[in-house]
Amino acid sequence: MYEYAIAWEWLAFAARWFHVITAIAWIGSSFYFIALDLGLVKRPHLPPGAYGEEWQVHGGGFYHIQKYLVAPAQMPEHLTWFKYESYFTWISGFLMLCIVYYGGADLFLIDRHVLDISPPVAILISLASLVFGWIVYDLLCKSPLGRNTWGLMAVLYVVLVFMAWGYTQLFTGRAAFLHLGAFTATIMSANVFMIIIPNQKIVVADLIAGRTPDPKYGQAAKQRSLHNNYLTLPVIFFMLSNHYPLAFGTAFNWVIAALVFLMGVTIRHWFNTTHARKGRPTWTWIVTLILFILIMWLSTAPKLLTGEKDTAAVAPAFQQFAGNPHFPAVKQLVATRCSMCHAAEPVYEGIVRPPKEVMLENDAEIAAHAREIYIQAGRSHAMPPGNITDITLDERKLLVAWFESAVEGKKQ
């Protein structure tokens, strides 16, 4: 049974790698086509129906690209569709969600000091929120409000801020940020799957049949592409945030999330304007810097503003680790080798916050992080970094014996 933890860790690593690869492919192609579309130049010699062209150089060769708003006079035999990058990014991301947050719901998804719910209930809430997000977003886009581009984006921003706050009332801070990224990414990928690609196929089918395509299909696809353009950078932030507890592990995390969405807009506005050759709006970087400084301040706001939570009680899911015969020795070991950094007020020089917001100062905290202690300090030598506290091989064996005997005991 304890080997399950090792296998699960490697499965999570493989899924994360897969997710990063597909995300690079999707975001890379998306950013490229946005820059290309904005940089097209209209010239008099263009073929009939061509909207603009662009000359580019890459890899030692020159590329001559032309865009048709409708279609060329003769359809090519082969069309390359950019869609699978989006689909597999979402699939791999959902796989990560299942492995890390659903498989480790008691530790990574549920914070019983926030909301005391069972893993099945938490997972159902998670799944329902993703479906809810797409339905609400799609209805807003198809409503009369959808005809007002900036009005629609303002309402969507309010929805995203509400979800940021709502997730922090349901899950751990880490899971809240991850879910906000998944919520947004689901909308983006569903835009491709449900609107952009189907609409493009309708247009192609009409052209092949000799019919004039209805412009509404292109307009809807363009609107969804615009939304995806501005949502991409915040999604990347939320997916990376699980490594940075100063972002998710504070009382003002939902406010930080709201500001991140604004930074995504200011950064993308600079690139969009620059690629369209409409100048370089440096004010966007000033605004972005101000927002980022505000985020930094919110992440370190005095705790007296927010209060402290009592986390001394061992949750039932981790009782087998706290009640194991090895636990007293493990607790002493953690106190001497780990707690100088993993504490509410670290004493190790240069450490001002506990790494990844992991604190190991009482029975509940040590028991809750049993699997991480086992993997990072028992089965591997990842912790402490550089073995700065001189943990011995025998002490690592103690951590292994503690976790494995606790897991075996629960099995029996």
Neighbours of 297 (CB within 10 A): 10
Of 251, 256, 224, the residue nearest 238 (C-alpha): 256
Enumerate residues 6+ apart whose C-beta is below 8 A from 115: 169, 170, 171
Q: Which two tokens stand for residue 283?
A: 């004010």
Enumerate residues 6+ apart whose C-beta is below 8 A from 379: 6, 400
The residue type of 95 is L
Enumerate residues 6+ apart whose C-beta is below 8 A from 218: 69, 199, 203
Alpha carbons 397 and 379: distance in angstroms, whole number: 8
| 73-to-22, 49, 69, 201 alpha-carbon distances in Å | 34, 8, 12, 17
140, burial (CB in 10 Å: exposed 0-12, middle 13-18, buried 19+): middle
* 271-296 confidence digits (pLDDT tens): 999 988 899 999 999 999 999 999 99
Inter-residue contact 221 to 200 (CB < 8 Å): yes
Q: What is the model's pLDDT at position 303?
A: 52
Residue with tokens 């919110």: 298
pTM for this one? 0.77
Q: What is the model's pLDDT at position 304?
A: 41
The residue type of 127 is L
* 345-379 confidence digits (pLDDT tens): 888 777 777 877 788 888 888 888 888 888 888 88
3-state SS assignment for residue 117? coil
Q: 28-44 b/e with 16+ CB inside 10 Å = b?
A: eebbeebbbbbbbeeee
3-state SS assignment for residue 68? strand
Q: Which two tokens stand for residue 67?
A: 């865009």
**In 209-341, alpha helices (H):** 215-240, 245-248, 253-275, 283-299, 319-322, 327-337
The residue type of 309 is K
**Segments of the chain with pLDDT less than 70:** 1-2, 70-71, 73, 301-315, 317, 410-412
Residue with tokens 């009782």: 319
